[in-house]
């Protein structure tokens, strides 16, 4: 038996996920790529990776009923971390090349193409860390690795007491966009922690350390 927190990495057909598993293990988790519904529900944390197009990721999630698993975990206050397109699909919808696709609807708003002279936004970038961030504790001034052309450029969720306000971290490529969100049990990063060197491992470690304390 491992005394490391069990983190399920949702296996729904998204490519290039093994690096995320390795990074989570390096960060201190017992990480497993899995489609097992029981394990996903019972794990201490669930990571939702995503690469490619918003529409393709949503189709794969729905085909595997991954959308149901994410919703059930969040309904029970169980921690979930979305990465890259795994963050984007948490919003109401995504608009890519004229195609408007319904997302998971955990957060209001749309994911749209960045307004920048060069796309995709590929490479290292700094972030403007939100106040009292747990994910970025000790790495507020580090750089992280991005690969994307689309993002959430506004935040439209109004939160009222007693619920705490989400912590929003922004980055800029042409115009500002959300680089990370911490919202109770639901967190997400637009960048790839698993490709962000020691800073990315530290961020994942911060998330893992908080798995027992995430609340609605």
**Catalytic choice (84, 121, 142, 148):** 84
Single out the residue of 182, 196, 194 nearest to residue 143, CA to CA: 196
**Catalytic choice (106, 142, 182, 194):** 194
CB atoms within 10 A of CB 164: 13
- Nearest 5°: the CA angle 180, 184, 187 is 30
**Residue 84 annotated to the active site:** yes
Contact partners, residue 195, CB within 8 Å, separation at least 6:
19, 145, 147
Backbone φ and ψ of 150, nearest 5°: -125, 155
- Nearest 5°: the CA angle 193, 140, 151 is 50
Contact partners, residue 1, CB within 8 Å, separation at least 6:
none
CA 159 to chain centre: 20
User: Pairing relation of β-strands 186-189 and 175-183?
Assistant: antiparallel
The residues annotated with a catalytic role in the active site are 84, 192, 194
């Amino acid at each position: 038996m491992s005394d490391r927190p069990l983190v399920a990495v949702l296996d729904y057909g998204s490519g290039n996920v093994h690096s995320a598993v390795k990074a989570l293990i390096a960060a201190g988790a017992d990480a497993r790529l899995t489609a097992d519904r029981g394990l996903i529900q019972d794990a201490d944390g669930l990571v939702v990776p995503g690469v490619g197009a918003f529409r393709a990721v949503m189709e794969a999630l729905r085909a595997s009923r991954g959308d149901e698993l994410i919703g059930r975990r969040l309904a029970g206050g169980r921690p979930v971390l979305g990465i890259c397109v795994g963050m984007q699909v948490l919003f109401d919808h995504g608009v890519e090349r004229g195609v408007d696709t319904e997302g998971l609807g955990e957060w209001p708003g749309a994911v749209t193409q960045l307004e920048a002279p060069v796309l995709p936004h590929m490479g290292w970038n700094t972030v403007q860390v939100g106040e009292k961030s747990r994910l970025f504790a000790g790495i507020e001034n580090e750089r992280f690795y991005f690969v994307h052309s689309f993002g959430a450029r506004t935040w439209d969720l109004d939160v009222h007491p007693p619920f705490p306000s989400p912590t929003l971290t922004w980055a800029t490529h042409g115009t500002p966009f959300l680089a990370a969100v911490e919202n109770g049990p639901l967190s997400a990063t637009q960048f790839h922690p698993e490709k962000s060197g020691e800073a990315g491992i530290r961020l994942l470690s911060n998330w893992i350390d908080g798995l027992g304390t995430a609340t609605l």
